[in-house]
Amino acid sequence: MNHTKRTVLVTGANGQLGLSLQQQVAQLPDFPFRLVFLTSQNLNITQKQQVEQVFLLHKPFAVINCAAYTQVDKAESEPHLATLVNEQGAMLLATYCRQYEATLVQISSDFVFNGNANTPYTEEIPVSPIGIYAQTKANAETLTLQHSPSAVIVRTSWVYAPFGNNFVKTMLRLGAERPQLNVVFDQTGSPTYAPDLADALLQILLHRENLPKQVVFNYANTGIASWFDLATETIALAKLNCKVLPILTHQYPTAAKRPAYSVLDTHKIRTQLGLTIPYWRHSLQKCIRSLLV
């Protein structure tokens, strides 16, 4: 009965979140939507003609925009490209979502905040991005809400998965190669397992009719960690013979400044969708198990 299902387009299908969505929805044969996964080869979201053709073909009920420029440091030297993908891409999708009366689910980032807080950020706190990447993600939120009357912004943080490039996989690789690693301990956030985030996005689709036309949600795994905590736990779970040492941010200089504190308050999405969000250590265990099989 697949032909009766409403279509949801997923951009950036080869990324961590896109692949996680494919994995999670494959386990739900009765899921009432048909998800169409589009890689950058199938759909370049910065190309108006391509976006127009895809919408005309599929007439979607919703679009989950997982396509993004995510190279935080490189964005400092490639501002045009970061702006093109993150801002122009989001605006084009939002414009066509309005035309087709479709919902745009726009994935955003903890980087929209400057990191000067010491309590978790709620959705209502004004954004204050630092750096090019952060600015493009904040602008993408604004453009999405301006151009699409039916839009869901989902801010997340520190995403990792069994596939793609991410901090956890880097720690596993380096931990197997080196006797010692230096990892920043004065930046704190909430590591987020992409399959958990994917599950939340599927719940948003299921509850769409009961949500406000425009809504902003925070989603991250529960609990707080530093990069040092995450590295230490990763190395321990994988039983690697590697020592992890804590260092300060200034001892590991990067092109883009990172928020020192970027913990997201998830009360709103938990209550509105009735979600139970897993603790970050439990999800990390799942990820490591799947990688070590």
User: Cα-flanking dihedrals φ and ψ of residue 283, to 5°?
Assistant: -70, -35
Q: What CATH number did the domain enclosing 128 receive?
A: 3.40.50.720
Residue 27 forms part of a structural domain: yes
Known catalytic membership, residue 219: no
Name the domain count of the chain.
Answer: 1
User: Cα-flanking dihedrals φ and ψ of residue 179, to 5°?
Assistant: -80, -15
Please report the pLDDT score of residue 6 as a whole number: 96
Point out which residues pair with 226 in neighbouring strands.
188
Please report the pLDDT score of residue 176 as a whole number: 97
Residue 104 forms part of a structural domain: yes
Residue 139 forms part of a structural domain: yes
Domain that holds residue 90: 2-161+193-221+262-277
Which residues fall within 8 angstroms of residue 6, CB to CB, at 6 or more apart? 32, 33, 34, 60, 61, 62
Tokens at 88, concatenated: 């122009």
User: Cα-flanking dihedrals φ and ψ of residue 107, to 5°?
Assistant: -85, 125
Which residues fall within 8 angstroms of residue 33, CB to CB, at 6 or more apart? 5, 6, 7, 8, 61, 62, 205
* Whether 168 contacts 234, CB under 8 Å: yes
Name which of 175, 269, 154, 288 is nearest 222 in CA terms.
269
Pairing of the two strands 188-189 and 225-226: antiparallel
pTM: 0.97
DSSP 110: G
User: Cα-flanking dihedrals φ and ψ of residue 36, to 5°?
Assistant: -110, 115
Residue 123 forms part of a structural domain: yes
- Exposed, middle or buried: residue 166 (CB in 10 Å: 0-12, 13-18, 19+)? middle
Tokens at 236, concatenated: 């321990």
Please report the pLDDT score of residue 123 as a whole number: 98
Residue 255 forms part of a structural domain: no
Please report the pLDDT score of residue 1 as a whole number: 41
As averages over each run of 10 residues, the pLDDT of the chain (293 residues) reads 79 97 96 97 97 98 97 97 98 98 98 97 97 98 98 98 95 98 98 98 97 98 98 98 98 95 98 97 97 87
Q: What is the mean pLDDT of the chain?
A: 97
Residue 245 forms part of a structural domain: no
Residue 106 forms part of a structural domain: yes
- CA end-to-end span of the chain, whole Å? 35
pLDDT digits (tens, 9 = 90+) for 1-45: 445 799 999 999 999 999 999 999 999 999 999 999 999 999 999
Residue 43 forms part of a structural domain: yes
Exactly one of 133, 193, 219, 261 is catalytic; name it. 133
Please report the pLDDT score of residue 248 as a whole number: 98
Residue 278's identity, in one-letter code, is P
Name which of 38, 41, 67, 40 is nearest 55 in CA terms.
38
Please report the pLDDT score of residue 187 as a whole number: 97
Tokens at 132, concatenated: 């090019």
